[in-house]
Structure formats: structure tokens, C-alpha cells
Structure 1
Amino acid sequence: MAFLRRYLRSGAGMAGLLIIATIALGAIAAPWLAPRDPLAIAGPALLPPFTDARLPLGTDRLGRDMLAGLIHGARASLAVGLAAMVAALAIGSVVGTVAGFAGGLVDEALMRVTDAFQVVPRFLLALAFVSTLGPSIGTVVIAIALGAWTEPARLVRAQVLSLRERDFVAAARVIGMHPAEIAFREILPNALTPALAIAALIVAAAVLIEAALSFLGLGDPNIVTWGTMIAEGRNLLRTAPALSLLPGLALVITVLGIYLVSEGIGDALERRGRTTP
């Protein structure tokens, strides 16, 4: 509750929360707000926005409803972003905890693996992974998580290195707790805060990478995504700019909202640090 109160005092955080909450509610309510299949033909091709009450944002080059595509595309983007964030935090937390708690050769080996993944740009790693295994939502999520787990791993490791010398860890050893239980039950929950602070940034990066992969034709072909919509409209920028501009604007607003949420989390943690004796 104290963290929530500090977060609510952040103007940037509140603005971001409002943006993301609006987009998330629209994505959740997609079956009611846009009940028609976004991949189905809904009207004449290239219908301009605001010319038909049934199709307020017009149609694309195949006659598909642009509004339905935007709303259902929000579901895909947020689902991929959140799933990739959870996977990246899970992998990073396990690697960072094991490395920090075990130390020695285990720590050295895991950190060298982390370095190897960190050297490769996230998008190139995701591009290579999806190109090899084929486009699907699951593949895209795994590909993004493989490039995003390194920073949480380093943050968790740094916290574990500090926490493993605390009195409560010594007490757990004295009563005979298993090392794995000490690491994951006693230390990890106290080491997660820095990793959780960058969760919003991982989501934002995941949304952008998913859009880029979809733009290149490496997204799931069975769902509508903003990247696919932008790609399909790029050849008609002169005659029908809304085909690319609308999903592009939705992508920009979503990423901006996520970054503002991250700013709010950072502000809340900074206030906590100032008030902690």
C-alpha cells in the first residue's frame, strides 16, 4: 500500500497508468467492442475513416474493419509483452539467484553465459530464433524472452550477493534449511524488487520487437497485429495513409504509456529510498 501511495503521487506514472488501463480494457473487451472477426471482409476495400457509421475507421485494402484490427491488435501486443516479461523475469531470477548464491565457478559460468546473450542485440536474436523455428505467438514470446532475461539476472545476482550474508540467511542455515530452499524461499523474494522495477521496460521492448517481427512477416499469421497492419499499409501511404498511421499511432501511444508507468515505478522506488533510514 505504501508503494501504491508513492506511485499515485507521480504525475508521469498516473498518466501512463491511465493510458495502459484504457488500452488494456479495450483489449479485454474486444469481443464486445469489435465482435466481428478482424480478418473477415467487413465492407468495400479502402473505405476512408469516418465515412460509414458501421466502420468508423474505414477498411483496409481487403475490406477488413480497421477498428476491429486495432482493438484485437492491442490484445496481441499486450499479451506478447506481458508473457515475454514474465518469462524473462522467471529465467533471469533463477539464473541470478543460482549465480549469486552459489558463487565460485557456478557464478562465473552463468555470468559468462549471460554476457554471451547480452552481446547479441535483442531484435537480431529474436529474428534469428523466429526465422529458424517459424512464426507463432509462442515462438515470438520465447524469442523475446531470450534476449530480455540478462538484465534481470544481473540485478537479482547483485541483490543476492548482498543478501546472502544477512542474519536471516545465517539463521536459516543454522536450523538446517536446504540451500535451494534458502536461495529461492528466503533470499529471492527480497531480491526481486530491482528486477520488477524494469518489468515495464521489458514489456515496452517486447511490444516493439513483436511489431517489428510482424512488420517483416515473422508474426503469427493467424492473428491481427499492429506490425502486420503497418506492413500491409506501407505501399498505400500516398493514397490511404490511415492504414499505416492508425496502427503506428496505437503502437506509439502504448509504448509511451508503458514508459510512463516505468517512470512512475522509478519515482516510487526513489521516494522509498529517500524515506528509508
Structure 2
Amino acid sequence: MRLLRNLLRTPEGAVGFGLLAVLALVALFAPVLSPGDPLRIAGRALTAPFTDPAFPLGTDRLGRDVLAGIVHGARTSLLVGLAAACAALAVGLCVGLAAGFAGGIVDEALMRVVDAFQIVPSFLLALAFVSVIGASVPVVVLAIALGAWADPARLTRAQVLSVRERDYVASARVVGMHPVEIALREILPNVLPPVLALSAIIVAAAILTEAALSFLGLGDPNIVTWGSMIAEGRNVLRSSPFLSVFPGIALVVTVVGVYLLSEGLGKALAHRGGGA
């Protein structure tokens, strides 16, 4: 709770938290705000926005409600972003913790694997993975996490190296605590805050990557995404630019909110560390 209070005291954290809270509520209550299948044909094709009360943001080339697509697309974007970030952080924490705490040949081997994944651009890795395996939400999440776990692993390792020789860790060794228990109980809680601050950036990158994959036609065709809506609108960009503009604005607001939350979280963690 203290961390949340420190976060909300920063302008970036307050704005970012507010934006993401609204988006989370929209995603949570999407079936209430826009009942039914957002991919169904709901009205006349290419209805201009703000001309029909039934379709406040208009309809696309097939007569699908743009507002329904944006509302349900928020659920997809946040789900993919959070799931990919959690998977990447879980793998990165395990690898970084093992490398930093074990040291020696284990550290060397794991860091070479990390280097190999960092050499390949994460988007190209996700693109190749989805192209080979097939397009679905779990595959997209796994593909994004595959390209995002290396940074948390390297950051975790650096943090572990800075704390593994401190007095409380040495005391745990003296009393006979098992190395795994030392890593999980004594080291992990102290290296976690900087890695959690990095998680917001991973979420933002995951949302952008998912949108880019959907834009290229490599997203799940059975669900609506902001990337696929932008791709749908590019064919009539001159006559009906709103088809790409509205989902594009939703994507920008989400990513900006995540980045602002990341900045606020970093300041809140620094303030807590300084206060301690």
C-alpha cells in the first residue's frame, strides 16, 4: 500500500494509473458495454462516426460496430500484454537468479543463451514463431515472451551479483540454510523491485507487438484486436480514415498509460529506497 501511495503521488504514476484503470474497467465490462459478438455485422457499411446513435464511432466496410471492436479489443490487448509480461518475467527471474547466484560455468552458459536471444530482434523472433506455429492468443503470448525474457534475466543477474555477498546472505549460509532457500527468501525479494519496474515496459512492448502481428494478419482471426482494425481501415484510409484512427488512438493511449505508470513506479521505488 505504501508503494501505491508513493506511485499516486507522482504525476506520471497518477495519470498512468488512471488511464490503465479506465482501460481495465472497459476490458472487464466489455460484454456489458457492448453485448454480443463484436465481429458480427451490425448495420450499414461505412457509417460515418457521430451520425448514428446506434453506432457512435461508425461501422467498418462489413458493417461491424467500431466502438464494439475497440471495447473488446481492449480486453485482447491487456490480456496479451499482461500474460506475455508475466511469462517473460517468470523466465527472466528464474534464469537471472540461477545465473547470478550459482556463478561459474552455470552463469557463463546461461548468459550466452541470453546473449543469443538478445541478438535477434524481439519482433522478428515473434514474427517467425507465429508464422511457423500458427496464429492464436496463446501462441502470440508465447512468441512475445520468447523475445522479452532476456532483459529481465540480465537485470536480475546484475541485481543478484550486487546482493549475494551482503551480510544477511552470508548469515543465512552460516546457519545452514539451503542455497535454494537463500535464493528465494533472502535474495529474490531484494532484487524484485527493479525488475517489476521493467515489467511495465515489457507490457507496452507486448501490446505494440501484438498489434503489429495482427496488422500483418498474424493475429487470432476469431477475436477482434486493435491491430486488425487498423489493418482493416488502411484499405479505405482516404475515404474513411476513422476506421484506423480510432483504434490507433486507443493503442496510443494504452501504451502512453503503461509508460507513464512505469515512470511513476520507478520514482516510487526510488523514493521508498531513499526513505528506507
Q: Give the TM bin, normalised by the shorter chain.
A: over 0.9
Counterpart code for 2:246: L
Q: What residue number does 2:125 align with?
A: 125
How far residue 25 of structure 1 moved from its aligned partner, in angstroms, is 0.4
1:206 and 2:206 correspond: yes
Identity across the alignment (%): 68
Q: What residue number does 2:265 align with?
A: 265
How far residue 127 of structure 1 moved from its aligned partner, in angstroms, is 0.5
Q: What residue number does 2:177 align with?
A: 177
Counterpart code for 1:124: L
- Alignment partners' CA distance in 2, 1:97 and 1:23: 33
Q: What residue number does 2:87 align with?
A: 87
Counterpart code for 2:62: L
1:104 and 2:136 correspond: no
1:187 and 2:195 correspond: no
Moved over 6 A (4+): none
Q: What residue number does 2:54 align with?
A: 54
Q: Please give the residue correspondences for 1:216-227 in structure 2 after superposition, counting only pairs within 5 Å.
A: 216-227=216-227
What secondary structure does 1:42 align onto? coil
- Alignment partners' CA distance in 1, 2:11 and 2:142: 34
- Alignment partners' CA distance in 2, 1:215 and 1:197: 29
1:35 and 2:35 correspond: yes
Q: What's the TM-score, normalizing by structure 2?
A: 0.97
Deviations 1:79-107 (A, max 9, x none): 00000110010000000000001000100
How far residue 192 of structure 1 moved from its aligned partner, in angstroms, is 0.9
Count residues in correspondence.
Answer: 276
Counterpart code for 1:76: T
How far residue 136 of structure 1 moved from its aligned partner, in angstroms, is 0.7
Contact 2:193–2:269 (8 Å) recurs in 1: no
What secondary structure does 1:177 align onto? coil
Q: Please give the residue correspondences for 1:14-33 in structure 2 after superposition, counting only pairs within 5 Å.
A: 14-33=14-33
1:230 and 2:242 correspond: no
- Alignment partners' CA distance in 1, 2:232 and 2:89: 33
- Alignment partners' CA distance in 1, 2:223 and 2:212: 15
How far residue 183 of structure 1 moved from its aligned partner, in angstroms, is 1.4
What's the RMSD between the two structures over aligned residues? 1.2
Counterpart code for 2:136: S
How far residue 188 of structure 1 moved from its aligned partner, in angstroms, is 1.3
What secondary structure does 2:147 align onto? helix
How far residue 159 of structure 1 moved from its aligned partner, in angstroms, is 1.6
Give 5+ residue unaligned stretches, structure 1: none
Counterpart code for 1:18: G
- Alignment partners' CA distance in 2, 1:268 and 1:183: 25
Counterpart code for 1:216: L
How far residue 55 of structure 1 moved from its aligned partner, in angstroms, is 1.4
What secondary structure does 2:75 align onto? helix
